[in-house]
């Protein structure tokens, strides 16, 4: 069926007025133009939609059925138009953000500020490690992600917004605590508490150790930053973590940084999305907000 929206509008007008003349007046068309549209629609449908008895026209059974479809198509179209109009505005719609678990230590605060400025935006936040984040991106689930350096094989638009230094932490009673210029070779017998496979922090740590030809002792493998920090506090070993994850523990002296030669590993946080993704006005505004917040944090430090 080759039916146009215009034909459905004309059909609806004729069906309401049961008059070609009045439908033509309403639509600012000529009466023959209206009859032509109805004829074409009847041709596409393959059935007569109106019948004339005496001077009066009536909907046929097919016309009656077609009318309810025509109205629901037009209602759907109006709803689509309304939703598109809303999405053009910054203060509406949904925003799906996925973040690396390590980003969670500051991203929730960023989101809280953004949510206060845009109270009608519905925000969903997915917190997961780097590997899971990449598979979400591949499945085109989030609008935006906040993550470590994106891999080259995924076609992303990524902009750095904040430094992410990785430091080595120990419990305060560790013999090397407070010592300057610790060499990696001094850590040869030490146990390391490491993040789960799939963690970007872990990949960066392993890359750094490999570059330094340092083979670390396998300690415990723990899921997530909190478990790693608690493991180090409990004396299970040393760990490499993002400085963002331990700000409180360092201030409270529950953990201490080790001043190891070559550290911190300087990484950066990126705000990224799939190339070709049509970002809504809300998503664009969140991306700009993150970039601004990063610039302000740099100025303040
Ligand atoms: P993660 O952090 O260790 O929580 O995966 C992401 C990253 O550092 O790339």
Cα–Cα distance, 277 to 273 (Å, whole number):
7
* pLDDT the model gives residue 85: 78
Cα–Cα distance, 12 to 22 (Å, whole number):
12
* Ligand 1 centroid – CA 266 distance (Å): 13
DSSP string spanning 61-128? HHHHHHHHHHHHHHHHHHHHHHHHHHHHSTTSSEEEEEEEGGGHHHHHHHHHHHHHHSTTSEEEEEEE
Question: Using a 6 Å cutoff on CB, does residue 130 contact ligand 1?
Answer: yes
145 within 8 A of 273, measured Cβ to Cβ = yes
* Ligand 1 centroid – CA 242 distance (Å): 9
Rg (CA), the chain: 32
* pLDDT the model gives residue 217: 78
| Close Cβ partners of 74 (under 8 Å, ≥ 6 residues apart) | 5, 8, 9, 12
Question: Using a 6 Å cutoff on CB, does residue 282 contact ligand 1?
Answer: no
* Ligand 1 centroid – CA 111 distance (Å): 19
* pLDDT the model gives residue 87: 79
* Ligand 1 centroid – CA 202 distance (Å): 8
* Ligand 1 centroid – CA 119 distance (Å): 29
Torsion of CA 114, 116, 118, 122, to 10 degrees: 90
* pLDDT the model gives residue 89: 79
Question: Using a 6 Å cutoff on CB, does residue 200 contact ligand 1?
Answer: yes
Cα–Cα distance, 168 to 48 (Å, whole number):
80
Cα–Cα distance, 103 to 145 (Å, whole number):
10
Kindly report the protein residue whose alpha carbon is nearest to atom 6 of ligand 1: 200
pLDDT in tens, 47-89: 999 999 998 999 999 999 999 999 999 999 988 887 887 778 7
Question: Using a 6 Å cutoff on CB, does residue 13 contact ligand 1?
Answer: no
* pLDDT the model gives residue 290: 96
CA neighbours within 13 Å on the CB side: how many for 123?
A: 27
Among 99, 101, 223, residue to substitute to test ligand 1 (most atoms within 8 Å of Cβ): 101
Question: Using a 6 Å cutoff on CB, does residue 37 contact ligand 1?
Answer: no
* b/e map 170-193, b = 16+ CB within 10 Å: bbeebebbeeeebebeebeebbbb
Cα–Cα distance, 96 to 109 (Å, whole number):
16
List, run by run, the mean pLDDT of 10-residue segments along the chain (301 residues).
Answer: 93 96 94 97 97 94 97 91 80 88 90 92 91 89 93 92 96 93 92 93 95 87 96 95 95 96 95 91 94 83 68
* Ligand 1 centroid – CA 130 distance (Å): 5
209 φ/ψ angles, rounded to the nearest 5 degrees: -60, -40
* Ligand 1 centroid – CA 91 distance (Å): 30
* pLDDT the model gives residue 88: 81
Question: Using a 6 Å cutoff on CB, does residue 148 contact ligand 1?
Answer: yes
* Ligand 1 centroid – CA 265 distance (Å): 13
Place of tokens 């845009």: 118
Question: Using a 6 Å cutoff on CB, does residue 201 contact ligand 1?
Answer: yes
Question: Using a 6 Å cutoff on CB, does residue 104 contact ligand 1?
Answer: no
**What is this structure's pTM?**
0.74
Cα–Cα distance, 178 to 9 (Å, whole number):
79
* pLDDT the model gives residue 90: 77
Which residues are paired to 271 by β-bridges? 146, 159
Atom of ligand 1 nearest to the CA of 101: 4
Q: C-alpha 208: how far from its chain's center?
A: 30
* pLDDT the model gives residue 174: 94
């Amino acid at each position: 069926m080759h039916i146009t929206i215009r034909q459905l509008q004309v059909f609806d007008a004729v069906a309401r007025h049961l008059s070609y003349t009045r439908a033509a007046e309403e639509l600012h068309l000529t009466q023959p133009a209206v009859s032509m549209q109805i004829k074409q629609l009847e041709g596409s449908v393959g059935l007569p939609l109106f019948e004339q008895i005496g001077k009066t026209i009536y909907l046929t059974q097919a016309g009656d059925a077609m009318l309810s479809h025509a109205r629901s198509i037009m209602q759907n179209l109006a709803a689509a138009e309304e939703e598109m109009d809303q999405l053009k505005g910054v203060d509406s719609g949904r925003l799906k953000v996925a973040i690396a678990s390590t980003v969670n230590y500051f991203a929730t605060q960023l989101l809280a500020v953004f949510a206060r400025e845009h109270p009608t935006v519905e925000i969903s936040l997915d917190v997961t490690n780097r590997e899971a984040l990449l598979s979400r991106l591949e499945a085109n689930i989030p609008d935006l992600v906040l993550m470590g350096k994106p891999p080259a094989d995924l076609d992303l638009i990524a902009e750095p917004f904040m430094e992410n230094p990785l430091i080595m932490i120990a419990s305060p009673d560790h013999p090397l605590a407070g010592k300057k210029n610790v060499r990696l070779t001094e850590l040869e017998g030490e146990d390391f508490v490491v993040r789960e496979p799939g963690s970007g922090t872990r990949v960066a740590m392993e890359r750094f150790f490999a570059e330094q030809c340092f083979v670390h002792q396998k300690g415990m493998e723990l899921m997530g930053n909190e478990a790693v920090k608690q493991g180090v506090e409990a004396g299970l070993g040393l760990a490499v973590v993002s400085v963002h994850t331990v700000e409180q523990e360092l201030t409270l002296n529950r953990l201490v940084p080790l001043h190891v030669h070559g550290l911190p590993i300087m990484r950066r946080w990126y705000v990224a999305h799939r190339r070709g993704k049509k970002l809504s006005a809300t998503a664009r505004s969140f991306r700009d907000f993150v970039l601004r917040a990063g610039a302000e944090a740099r100025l303040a430090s």
